Structure 1
Amino acid sequence: MKTLFKNIGPGPLVAAAFIGPGTVTVCTLSGVNFGYSLLWAMLLSIIATIVLQEMSARLGIISQKGLSEIIRTEIKNPILKGFTIVLILSAIVIGNAAYEAGNISGGVLGLETIVGNPNIEIAGFPVNTLSIVIGAIAFILLYIGNYKLLEKVLVGLVILMSLAFLITAIMTKPNISEIFKGLLIPKFSNDSILTVIGLIGTTVVPYNLFLHASLVKEKWHKTSDLKYARKDTVIAIVLGGLVSMCIIISAAAIQSQDINSASDLAKGLEPLFGSFSKYFLAIGLFAAGITSAITAPLAAAYVASGCLGWNSNLKSKKFKSVWIFILLLGVLFSSLAIKPIDIIKFAQVANGILLPVIAGFLIWIMNKTSVLGIHKNTIKQNIFGFIILGISILLSVATLNKVFHLNIF
């Protein structure tokens, strides 16, 4: 057990990053509207995430560089390089600033279910003090700049979140045979296609590919560590996927259609399974919010540093300035209840375009002997990679279709 914990790496941080309030909300709506029938989409997402994140981790360990650093050095055409860097900075840095408000608001919803809504008024504006509390916790942990401490806190929160959602799912006494049917028999209709896109899009996250490649080199430095990185990646992402499935299963127990968010789910479960279910779900939502509130600014800082050639040390002033900016914007939007819809819409579009671009670049770089030597992709890894690239292109088209109402589908 001691060896297992010693070899825990950034995998749980990656899981913490993709299980944010957005994921919780999409999984809640999936369960309420479609029962167990879309669990297969979650299983597909888990497999795709494992394949891409393993590539990202292998790249980080072998090259000892972040993904954005390698993009800057490996793309030789100055126009293509400039376009790619602008796209990445727009999607990750601006996008994460928009999503950060949602991360903090999600953590606040979890706390509000337990402690109420302690708003104060400043200059005529109602300010949510819980947003400031969550922002302060994230700030302190990031400002200390100690990777090992950050890792331990996030691992603890992921375990707490996993237990909270698992217990909630067990309390609903789900039908096991129906769960397996939903997992193994894919089916969807025109009504469910956007939910399928949402389930895949909130699990296979572009910024996690950058975050993982940067974090593994903080933990591991030798090629012999690859086996630990693979095990860490698979265990953490499967655990994260199980958390998402537990949310879908919990939500499927609710008969009411008046469920639009995870906090509604907490209230909806209470009359059926008692106040304990509400508290377990609230704790899970708080943990999901705060873990993503820490990892989103961290990912943005790694991306900006790699793209602009800065030092990506946690204690570097330029590195700190990026995550502080992202965190402050998130706290501001969340505490004043500002909904940055246009920015989030822009981030959604940019991330939709970015996923196939980054997946394509990652597969290309993973086949370069000059970068990875004998650790480049095998034929099997490339087959899986290209299948996922195809799915990400469809996802990108569907995202653009959804945002701009192109009526492609």
Structure 2
Amino acid sequence: MRLGTSSLVVAAFVGPGTVLTCASAGLRFGYALGWVLLFSVASVFVLQSLTAGTGILARKGLGEALREVAVTPWRRGVLFGLVVLGLWAGCAAFEAGNLAGAAAGVQTVLGSGVEHRWVVAGMAGVAALLLTLRLQALTRILTALVALMGFLFVATLFIAPVDWPAVLDGLLTPRVPEGSLVTVVALIGTTIVTYNLFLHASATKAYWRDEVPVRAWRRELVGMAVFLPVGGLISFAILAAGATLHGQGAEPATVPAFAVLLEPVAGPAARYLFGLGLFAAGITSAVTAPLAAASGIRELFGWRDPDSGGRGDAPGFRLVWASVVLTGLVFGLAGLSPLTIIVAAQAANGLLLPLIAAFVLYLAFRQRTLALPRWYLAAGGIVMLVCAVLGARTLAWVWTHL
């Protein structure tokens, strides 16, 4: 049975940034924020299912839909500027972290004798090679990598001495410990990702183009019900593994440092399990970030998509994803912090996330192929409000870093 494209969503949101955020949450607050991940996965399911409905039921990517409503030059200038900045600059900035994270995973396994810049260059080459594949082949490869990532991180969870009653309490009892508000927002924000909305709509439109829309949308929901909980389980496994060291006063400053901290409780196996899992997290996100930017911008500007397999071979499409990979590679090789571009991208994403979430909800109301239940649309409205809070918090963070 075909399970659709939701593995792309998991591959995108479980990246090195998610690993560090979840690890830090566990180290600082124990299992207390487990409920945040449950809420985040439920929110992603609702929002991404409506996004999939845009691609399958309305047969439109978000870029196409935005182009249709932006009929005046002023609207087009504002919308196009936000989308291009939020997608390209954001994805390019995150790509540097994705490549560095994948390289750190390789070095964690192989040891520090391998020169970092050559590993980063190798990861960029792997990402570029995967991006030349057709959508169906790429989806199968990323599904396998997500499965590998899930196995490795969950194995780490069971190796570590986890307090299971505390796990259950953290999952079922919502609480915000003192000083944890920023971490709560970060955990939600690392799961609800703006560029995933563009990626999922574009991917579902291409993947299910020859299927009956209503049947295809329901099959996509089945795939989401399989893969999104896997993403949540991976995130929680990292949080719980970090929680085993809660109260010991040690917090990793870098992603690979977390594997070192875990060794006292998980033994030598932690290095290999965590390193391979980090590689899978980094390389999957290093593929999906450029793909999301290229798909959204292609649709926004109406570039041709002649490939019946769903992968556009228009020069502009290839130029966008190649520029994202190359920018990430340059920052990775130079060892520079992409803070300036991240601040600009976060500012755009702070505005873009609630706007795109609201637009997805608007499209769900407009489509007539399938009447969605009112309670489901209401759930979408709640998620949209969550996105608005995230956007406001992101803008506040940007203001403090100007």
Query: If the TM-score is normalised by the length of the shorter chain, which range does it land in?
Result: over 0.9
Match of 1:397 in 2: 392
Q: Give CA deviations for 1:222-255 in whole Å, capped at 9, x if unaligned.
A: 2121211111122211110110000000111123
Q: Unpaired segments of 5 or more residues in structure 1? A: 121-126
1:190 to partner: Cα distance: 4.7
Q: In the aligned structure 1, how far is the partner of 2:312 from the partner of 2:75?
A: 29
1:77 to partner: Cα distance: 4.4
Q: In the aligned structure 1, how far is the partner of 2:159 from the partner of 2:114?
A: 33
- Match for 2:225 among 225, 230, 234? 234
Superposition map of 1:294-309 within 5 A: 294-309=287-302
TM-score, length-normalised on structure 2? 0.94
1:119 to partner: Cα distance: 6.1
1:278 to partner: Cα distance: 1.7
1:258 to partner: Cα distance: 3.4
1:134 to partner: Cα distance: 0.6
Match of 1:8 in 2: 3
Q: In the aligned structure 2, how far is the partner of 1:377 from the partner of 1:118?
A: 56
Q: Unpaired segments of 5 or more residues in structure 2? A: 306-310
1:401 to partner: Cα distance: 1.7
Match of 1:95 in 2: 90
Alpha carbons of structure 1 residues 339 and 238: separation in structure 2 relative to 1, 3 Å: same
Instruction: Indicate if the aligned counterparts of 1:117 and 1:128 stay in contact, CA closer than 8 A.
Output: no
1:259 to partner: Cα distance: 1.9
- Match for 2:256 among 257, 263, 268? 263
Worse-matched range after superposition: 167-176 or 279-288: 167-176
1:272 to partner: Cα distance: 2.2
Match of 1:18 in 2: 13
- Match for 1:170 among 135, 155, 158? 158
Letter in 2 for 1:97: A
Aligned-pair identity in percent equals: 35
Letter in 2 for 1:264: A
Superposition map of 1:39-188 within 5 A: 39-117=34-112, 128-143=117-132, 145-188=133-176
Match of 2:308 in 1: none
1:147 to partner: Cα distance: 1.6
Q: Give CA deviations for 1:49-100 in whole Å, capped at 9, x if unaligned.
A: 0001001111101222211111111344442332122101100111101110
Match of 1:225 in 2: 216
Match of 1:212 in 2: 200
- Aligned-partner SS, 2:368: helix
Worse-matched range after superposition: 397-406 or 296-305: 397-406
Instruction: Indicate if the aligned counterparts of 2:70 and 2:79 stay in contact, CA closer than 8 A.
Output: no
Dislocated runs of 4+, deviation >3 Å:
75-78, 117-120
Instruction: Indicate if the aligned counterparts of 1:311 and 1:319 stay in contact, CA closer than 8 A.
Output: no
Q: CA RMSD in A?
A: 1.6
Q: In the aligned structure 2, how far is the partner of 1:114 from the partner of 1:19?
A: 20
- Aligned-partner SS, 1:89: helix
Q: In the aligned structure 2, how far is the partner of 1:253 from the partner of 1:310?
A: 50
1:268 to partner: Cα distance: 0.9
Match of 1:318 in 2: 316
TM-score, length-normalised on structure 1? 0.92
Letter in 2 for 1:302: S
Letter in 1 for 2:378: I
